[in-house]
Homo-oligomer: A and B are copies of this chain.
């Protein structure tokens, strides 16, 4: 554990209501990976459904906190990705939390329609068990229709 993470050690004994550090100080100590990224889990705030996991760099997280519209970092495209900019299916931030060792984010969001590029509500649709693989949900929207919206 690096010395920066003594901040996370200090926070372990904090209680709700305590005056803590700024978001800037916390993100200075947070454990972005070697590519400057951190996994961010998106959970629908009212139903508890886990919708997806994507990556954020510090810019994406700061933009998300400022605008309340969820912005990730697309590793395949190498740039910021405002969720829904192609599909129209945006995510609005309700709240954000960092975990105990400062290397993962949990976002409570209000998701418009499907979060998954397949048109399903959640990306986690491939169930695994000792009996094999099954699909646990149907698309809400045909993905062809989802991405046609962004074409001219």
Contacts and interface: CB of A to CB of B under 8 A. Distances in A.
A114 to B, nearest CB: 11
Interface string A122-143: 0111111110111111100001
Given A50-B43, A98-B126, A133 B23 contact: yes
Interface string A78-122: 000000000000000001111111101010000000001110100
Chain A's interface size range is 35 or more
Contact of A53 (B41, B120, B132): B41
A12 interface: yes
Contacts of A39: 39, 53, 104
Nearest to A98: B126
A47 interface: yes
A21 interface: yes
Interface of A: 11-12, 14-18, 20-23, 25-26, 39, 41, 43, 47-50, 52-53, 65-66, 95-102, 104, 106, 116-118, 120, 123-130, 132-138, 143
